[in-house]
Chains A and B, each alone.
Chain A
C-alpha cells in the first residue's frame, strides 16, 4: 500500500560520521528501488537506485545495500555533512509499475 505514518523516525549523527538509514519494503515482487532525499518545501531528489539483481551499489559518498531475503534496503552516507540533513525516503516498484514510497527517516547532522 501507500506510505503511512505521522511520526518519522529520526537519526542524529555528528558531522563527519557515517550515516545508515534503513528501510523495510513490503512487496516481495519489487525489483527496483530508489532512495530519495527531501528538503523542506522541495520535491524529493533522486539519490541512488538499485535493481534486484544486485545487492550493493555505490555512488558519490552513498552506498545502497539490498537484502531481498529479509526485504530490507539501507542507505549509507559517508562523512555526513550538514547539507545532508533532510528526510530520506525509500521507494519500490515491481515489474515497471508505479513507485510506492516508505514512511521516511529524518536525518539530522550535528556540527
Chain B
C-alpha cells in the first residue's frame, strides 16, 4: 500500500497525558498536512509542511500542540497535557504543491 499511513489508528488516553501520532506520506509528496475532525464537521486545518519547513500553523491551535517533519518525510503530531476537548479524529494528508491532497485513515483520539 503506497498511500498515506497513520499510526496508531486509535488511541485512548487519560486527561493530562501526552500523546504522539505519526504520519507517513506518499513518498514523492513534498507537502504534508494535519487536520482535526469532530463528528458532523469538516476537517479543520491544524498545520502543514513543505519538505521539513512548517509553513503555517492554525491560530486556533494551542501551544499544547506541536508538529514536526524533521527530514521532510514522516511527521509527528504531539499533544501535551491532553484535555477532553482534544478528542477527535486527527487526519494527515500529503500532496505535491498545487495538486490534490490524499488523506490517511486518521487516528481517532479519545481522552477520558
Which residues of A are at the interface with B, using a C-beta cutoff of 8 A? 2-8, 32, 34, 36, 42-46, 49, 89, 91, 96-104
Contacts and interface: CB of A to CB of B under 8 A. Distances in A.
A49 B44 CA distance: 19
Contacts of B60: 2
Given A34-B101, A44-B43, 6 more contacts: A3-B43, A7-B40, A36-B103, A43-B4, A46-B103, A99-B101
A21 to B, nearest CB: 13
A34 B56 CA distance: 20
A103 B44 CA distance: 10
B98 interface: yes
Contact of B103 (A2, A45, A49, A97): A45
Size class of the contact patch on chain B: 20 to 34
Secondary structure of the B contact surface, majority rule: loop
Interface in B23-76: 33, 35, 40-45, 48, 55-56, 58, 60
A87 to B, nearest CB: 9
Given A34-B101, A46-B102, A96-B98, A2 B40 contact: no
11 contacts: A2-B58, A3-B41, A3-B44, A6-B41, A43-B93, A44-B91, A91-B101, A97-B56, A101-B42, A104-B41, A104-B42
B98 A5 contact: no
B14 interface: no
Contact of B42 (A3, A42, A43): A3
B105 A43 contact: yes
A98 B56 contact: yes
Interface string B1-39: 000100000000000000000000000000001010000
Contact of A5 (B35, B41, B48, B101): B41
A44 B4 CA distance: 12
